[in-house]
Amino acid sequence: MIGTDSPLFRPLEIRSLRVSNRIVMSPMTRAHSPNGVPKENVADYYRRRAHGGTGLIVTEGVAIEHETAVDSPSVPRLHGYDALEGWRRVVDAVHDAGGRIIPQLWHVGPLWGAMGKVDRALKPMRPSGTWGAAGSTSYPREYVSRALKPTAPMTEDDIAEVIAAYAGAAANARAVGFDGVAIHGGHGYLLDSFLWRSTNTRDDAWGGDLERRVAFPCAVVAAIRAQVGPDMPIVFRFSQHKQQDYSARIADNPAELGVILRALVDAGVDVLDASSRRFDLPAFPGDDLSLAGWAKKLTGATTMAVGSVGLGTSLRTSRIDGVAASRNNIPELERRMSIGEFDLIAIGRLHLADPQLANTLQRKSELPDYNRSVHESKLI
């Protein structure tokens, strides 16, 4: 295992945010906030990871103030007095433990209705009224069949309302003391659905060629930057794969990826969070460079990798097969970070198994057995 001389334990500054190491707790949906309000159990959950040495915590996806942002009443929201007071307690708990924390702003877009019962009279936010081409997915067949039915495309008023909701959530994040803002722009959710050809077949300012498909995510980023000012960092998660189809892509080559990512950085993004099923998976044929590596090469921005750190299977495979065997890919992670391929590493499931994960790595201790630890801890 690695120790204090590893690139994982070098500090990093991003605008006003200074983190003590490069280990990030990746956002993972928990839905433990009744009526959208985070309670003491949520504060304790994140405090333990901060106390365990993790440099930066990105919260689970947090609902912006829009009626179809999320489809579970237990997903935390970032609006309303009670929810904001709850987040103040979470932020204070993390800061008291020496950590840093940012919320991941979330609108599920085309995937609204996947997690629970919803009011079918409401319209899901879909750029062109489509769920996307159904491919390799872990969603149940009955849900996919229902989701494939076309709905009304987003109107100009819809687009304006959602942009305003993101901006309002960012203002709330600043008000309660978060250290930055993260945006979920991957996995087939709303922002990503504007980037993906399968869900964006518009021919207006918000769709058509790649430059127009990235316009809506950029408008959201710019609105957020206007609210948080010049000091707070903005993190943007993007991905090739979608929950509708794990083989989907927003960019077929580095040139196309560069168009998307450079536009986002120009709009105000500081950290590009490249979500892939494995952090070391080559992004394009003929080159070993990861998705996070290409993001850095194409933009020069700070980049973050994520995907199956310390695990032998991807999240999708583990969901289907029920296994997540340990895999010693930490040396490869350290090698890639040491040559500057990417700057931060987001670790998800091992943070569930071991709240002291960063300290475990720093002590050169063995990584936990994910399956056994999570079963015993009940995701505390």
- Do 250 and 260 touch, CB atoms closer than 8 A? yes
Establish how many alpha carbons lie within 13 A of residue 153's alpha carbon, considering only the half-sphere containing its beta carbon. 13
The angle formed by the CA atoms of residues 345, 350 and 351, to the nearest 5 degrees, is 80
**Taking the CB of residue 301, how many other CB atoms lie within 10 A of it?**
18
- Listed in sequence order, the residues at least 6 apart from 151 whose beta carbon sits closer than 8 Å to its beta carbon are 123, 124, 126, 129, 130
3-state secondary structure of 365: coil
Among residues 218, 232, 262, 190, the alpha carbon closest in space to that of 103 is found at: 232
Among residues 261, 344, 260, 332, the alpha carbon closest in space to that of 302 is found at: 344
- The dihedral over CA atoms of 237, 56, 166, 117, expressed in degrees to the nearest 10, equals 80
Catalytic residue flag (residue 139): no
How far the first Cα of the chain sits from its last, in Å, is 25
Token readout for 250 is 């927003």
26/213 Cα distance (integer angstroms): 27
Token readout for 379 is 């995701």
- What is the number of residues in the chain? 380
Per annotation, catalytic residue among 45, 46, 166, 189:
189
**Taking the CB of residue 371, how many other CB atoms lie within 10 A of it?**
16
355/358 Cα distance (integer angstroms): 8
- Do 191 and 184 touch, CB atoms closer than 8 A? yes
196/199 Cα distance (integer angstroms): 6
The residues annotated with a catalytic role in the active site are 189
